[in-house]
Amino acid sequence: MSEPLFLFDLLLALAVVAIAAAALLVRDAFAMIVLFVVFGLLSALAWVRLAAPDVALAEAAIGTGLTGALLLKTLHHLRARGMAGWEPGAAAPRPVPRAVASLNAGLTLAVVAGLGVAILGSPLRVTGLEIAVAEAMPLSGVDNPVTAVLLNFRAYDTLMEVVVLLAAIIVVWQVERGADAAPAPSLGPIWQGFARLTLPAAAIVGVYLLWAGAEAPGGAFQGGAMLAAIGLMLLLTGLYRPHPDHRATARLLFVLGTVAFAAVALLVAGAGRASFEYPQGHAKTLILLIEGLVTISIAVTLTALFHGREPAALKGELRHDP
Amino acid sequence: MNTYLGLVALVLLASLLAGLVRVIRGPAPEARLMAGQLLGTTAVAILLVLWGLTGQSAFLDVAMVFAILAAVALIAFVALSNQGAGR
Amino acid sequence: MTPDLIYGAAGLAVFGIGLWGAIALQDRMRRLLGLKLCSVGAGFVLIVGAWREPPAAPDPVPHALVITGIVVMLSATAAALALIRRLHDLEAADDRA
Amino acid sequence: MTGPDWLTLSIMLPLFGAVAAFILPRAAAGLGLATVAATTLCVLMMADRVAAFGAVTVPLGGWGAPLGIELRADGLSVAMLALTGMVGLLVSVSAIDAFAGDRTARQRHYFWPLWLLLLSGLNGVYLGTDLFNLYVMIEIIALAAVGLTVLGGTREALRAGLDYVYASILGALLFLLGVGLIYLQLGRLDFAGVIAAPPSAAMTAALAVMFVGLALKTALFPLHVWLPAAHANAAAPASALLSGLVVKGALYIVLRLAGYMPALTEDILTLIGLMGAGAVIWGGIQALRADRLKLLVAWSTVAQIGLIFVALARAGERGLSDSWKAAALLILAHGIAKAAMFLAAGRIKDEVGHDRIRDLDRSPIRPTLAQVTFALAAINLIGLPPSLGFIGKWQLMEGAMMAGYWHWVAITMIGTLFSVAYFSRVLAGFLRFDRVRGGPLAEHHGWSGADAAPLILAGAAVLLGLAAGPIIAFIDLGAGGAMP
């Protein structure tokens, strides 16, 4: 490859490492979050360079975008709670002794250095599973190898990943039961208008990513994340306000993906087929069905994770158990 | 051609990193936020250049998602840092 | 020097920085951020393992694994942040009392 | 594969149960109990097949490893599944009582979905043969377990829960890094591929990282700091699940990988053994110093886990086969007995009104059945005959003596002495009546249906020692390499 690209890689790698350290060390919490988002963007960029556009999409949308929004929301919440001067460090009453700090740093350095030496000292770059994947692709029902791995070869993993998301929303609702609402986010009229302009664009991109996932980078998770971005904007602009009556629907939407996926996995079994083994010729239909329903669940769950608290009913029900 | 585009990508990356100074030093949240937005735009530009280099249309998808996320992030930052009220 | 070596080293370094942050820092959100850095570092390692010298196509399996890892990490982050918010509420109520 | 696929079902049933309990919170308890019972039935059917065929493998999606993921049940998996089913069923029964009433309605609504997700994750770990899949499963377990830890919503529980989240995620991420490094080396992640791998520095490094991650998750000394507070501050049924079952998930992975690793050197084993010995001693000291009953029980978990690692470590050049069995027996014994003990401790706390060990003998209220349960569980954990714990310790010491590892014998003895000492503190409180002030001792609040489940568990742990021979033979089924 040409020399500038080599320099580009080098600079990008150095920047990723430096920003990672800076995000942990910067004093201001808001700057920490902005740096974290920049770190995520640059990591996604690096992954594009490593020919992993699917992962870059997922990292940008979920790992960076939504995680950043969650961090920001939490910071907003903490600052709104009577601790106007809340800064990281204020919550840490006892400073770490210098000896302990350097011990920690030394230990970490030793671990990483040991790993690096061990890896460099061994033969690298064996063949992975790409040949097996390429051979099985015609049977998989889709044309994008990553989607084939996610929804066919390793569909069991993906089902469990959707379950992790379900577990997360159950835990979040459980933890924040009875918590008072944080002050609602406020947006002036101009920003409201801007948000309204952005909504359809995000919707189109989200559906496009889901649809494109069968042959190009994208798929249920990336598409779901883009749709969740719409949910975030609806919440932030106040266009949608969660109501206690919506809880039952929300629960149904949370579990929709898990149930559909697991049911298909079990129902296709029999007649000599194992679970998750789609009947010949029906793989594409079933995968699209699963992806569609899983996307809905992902979008709703991610939005609910951002909202946090279960929309509570009466004031009396708000008090948590003793 | 490739060398030229590679140089462009390199310069864009360098300018992106230069913008980080504002993010770290602040001091106003607005300064950090605007710097972050500019970084996002530069990242989109880098992706477009990389697309020019490799011809893989997947880079365009990533660039599109970056662009949408930048808009959403802007709204989230504004709404959640109480900067947007009354503007 | 090929990209995989450069980014592999960077990934390990990011993992190390995150590890340090997760065990050495006190602030709750920062510790969580350290864990997130660890997960990105591990992602780098997997993606580097998938990379092949162009024009060969990369191995798709690690890509799928990393996507799964990203979603899992988001779930864990969301749960931890909910705990942080709730705990902060309770502690703030203590401070006022 | 003929007949129903009990392996997939035993993972999917709790999943559907969790969903149903989440959607219909009012019916959660009934749905939950039914699901756990049905899942346990699945495990029994699976046990029948394993007894007949040795090991059962299901290639999910029909692809087969290494492209796809395989589920595999052998003697050890089924033993762990049976432990989970048995403990889970009885804890479920007592949870219905513990969370009855309006004041705990919300705890009840969330207990069942979380516990069923946990069950799904645990069963998935015991049947999994793919390293990355194990990572996803331990994350499900971690999230559900955190939810159970903070069920009570108290400040202490939330603090402990947050520390638990950090430890748990970090452990999982270290495991993930190891998985990534292994893929870098081997290009595959199934157990069969890992066994066949030639030893190399990179493989050792990868396995070491994974081991540290798992040690963090099972709370092996000195990575145990998160455990006592988390287990001591949770609600009683949650504590029983956390201590009896959750730590066993990561422990099982260590056991599996240890059984598959021919490259474990003497130095590494000694290091693991030293960590275990540290846990035995430090856990023992802290249990002696604990002022609350549940805290004492939690610290004893740290010590017992240490002992299991000592069992793993003392294999030496004779290979891991019989120390592996001793460790498996100790895991089973600890799982059953510790769950019973936490349930009993919860009952004692409910009836007496506090769980300060120093004041237990002042209470005029003596929950007799819970106390008997506690004593039976203690017999198991101390390792008195004929309990399952005794057989495990005996296997461990016998092997160590035959191999001439007297230091490991000494550690086991020290651990036993410690456990006698700290459990005696509690048992003495149960038996002394001279410090009771006020009312007469007529009030026996102990005869409640809620005592039945823990008592059955504790009794089973003792009696299963009599069936140790068949259990060991069963654990051995399909073992000796992962090749199906």
Could you say which of A119, A121, A160 has the minimum Cβ distance to residue D136? Answer: A160
Is 60 exceeded by the pLDDT of residue D370? yes
DSSP string for D199-225: P-HHHHHHHHHHHHHHHHHHT-TTS-T
**Residue whose tokens read 């509420």:** C89
State mean pLDDT over A282-289: 89
C59 touches chain A (CB under 8 A): yes
Instruction: Write down the domain spans for chain D.
Output: 266-484
Domain presence at residue B7: yes
Cα gap A129→A118, rounded to integer Å: 23
| Chain D, nearest residue to C45 by Cα | D180
Is 50 exceeded by the pLDDT of residue A322? no
Cα D179 to Cα A59, D215, D465, distances in angstroms: 19, 15, 37
Is 50 exceeded by the pLDDT of residue B85? no
Is 80 exceeded by the pLDDT of residue A236? yes
* A212: amino acid identity, one letter: A
According to the model, what pLDDT value does residue A183 have? 60
According to the model, what pLDDT value does residue D483 have? 36
According to the model, what pLDDT value does residue D84 have? 96
Asked if ipTM goes beyond 0.90, one says yes
Cα gap A308→D438, rounded to integer Å: 50
C78 CB-contact burial (10 Å; exposed 0-12 / middle 13-18 / buried 19+)? buried
Q: Which of A156, A173, A258, A273 to mutate to test the interface with D (most CBs of D within 10 A)?
A: A156
Cα gap D69→D87, rounded to integer Å: 28
According to the model, what pLDDT value does residue A190 have? 76
Give the gap in angstroms from C-alpha A154 to the nearest C-alpha of chain D. Answer: 5
Q: What residues of B are in contact with residue A224 (Cβ under 8 Å)?
A: none
A47 touches chain D (CB under 8 A): no
Instruction: Read off the pLDDT band of A84 (50, 70, 90).
Output: very low
Domain presence at residue B76: yes
According to the model, what pLDDT value does residue A2 have? 54
Tell me, what CATH number does C7's domain have?
A: 1.10.287.3510
Is 60 exceeded by the pLDDT of residue A85? no
Contact C16, A108 (CB under 8 A): yes
Contact A57 B65 (CB under 8 A): yes
Across D22-127, where does the E strand assignment appear? 56-59, 70-73
Q: How many domains does chain C have?
A: 1
pLDDT in tens, A147-181: 899 999 999 999 999 999 999 999 999 998 766 66
Contact A36 C66 (CB under 8 A): no
According to the model, what pLDDT value does residue D320 have? 53
Cα gap A24→C13, rounded to integer Å: 14
Domain presence at residue B87: no
**With pLDDT > 90 as the criterion, what percentage of chain D qualifies?**
49
Is 70 exceeded by the pLDDT of residue A109? yes
Contact C87 D159 (CB under 8 A): yes
Of A7-16, A110-119, B56-65, D231-240, give the lowest mean pLDDT range: A110-119
Q: What residues of C are in contact with residue A20 (Cβ under 8 Å)?
A: 13-14, 17-18, 37, 40
> Would you report the helix, strand and coil content of chain B in percent, each value rounded to 5?
85, 0, 15
Is 60 exceeded by the pLDDT of residue D484? no
Helix axis angle for A283-307 and A67-80, nearest 10°, is: 20
Q: Is pLDDT larger for residue D207 or for residue D135?
A: D135
pLDDT in tens, D327-358: 889 999 999 999 999 999 998 888 888 888 88
State mean pLDDT over A12-40: 90
Cα gap A222→A273, rounded to integer Å: 30
Q: Which residues of chain C have pLDDT under 50?
A: none
State mean pLDDT over D52-65: 87
Q: Is pLDDT larger for residue D22 or for residue A80?
A: D22
The length of chain C is: 97
State mean pLDDT over D429-434: 81
- Phi, psi (degrees; rounded to nearest 5) at A225: -65, -40
Instruction: Read off the pLDDT band of D304 (50, 70, 90).
Output: very high
According to the model, what pLDDT value does residue A23 have? 92
Give the gap in angstroms from C-alpha C84 to the nearest C-alpha of chain D. Answer: 7
D to B contact (≥3 Cβ pairs closer than 8 Å): no
If contacts are CB pairs under 8 Å, which of residues 46-65 in chain A contact chain B?
Answer: 48-49, 53-54, 56-57, 60-61, 64-65
Strands D70-73 and D56-59: antiparallel
Give the gap in angstroms from C-alpha D401 to the nearest C-alpha of chain A. Answer: 35
Contact C47 A43 (CB under 8 A): no
Note if the bond before A4 is cis, omega within 30 degrees.
Answer: no
Contact B72 A190 (CB under 8 A): no
Could you say which of B10, B56, B72 has the minimum Cβ distance to residue A7? Answer: B10
If contacts are CB pairs under 8 Å, which of residues 58-97 in chain A contact chain C?
Answer: 58-59, 62-63, 66-67, 70-71, 73-75, 77-78, 81-83, 88-89, 91-92, 94-96
Instruction: Read off the pLDDT band of A82 (50, 70, 90).
Output: low
Contact B73, A200 (CB under 8 A): no
Q: Please, which chains are in contact with D (at least 3 CB pairs closer than 8 A)?
A: A, C
Q: Is pLDDT larger for residue D263 or for residue D40?
A: D40
Give the gap in angstroms from C-alpha B16 to the nearest C-alpha of chain A. Answer: 10
According to the model, what pLDDT value does residue D480 have? 54
Q: What residues make up the domain containing B42?
A: 2-80
Q: Is pLDDT larger for residue D82 or for residue D351?
A: D82
Q: How many domains does chain B have?
A: 1
Number of H helices, E strands in chain A: 13, 0
Give the gap in angstroms from C-alpha A118 to the nearest C-alpha of chain D. Answer: 5
Q: What residues make up the domain containing C43?
A: 3-96
Domain presence at residue B86: no
According to the model, what pLDDT value does residue A319 have? 40
Could you say which of C13, C21, C48 has the minimum Cβ distance to residue A24? Answer: C21
Domain presence at residue B85: no
Contact D67 A164 (CB under 8 A): no
Contact B72 A65 (CB under 8 A): yes
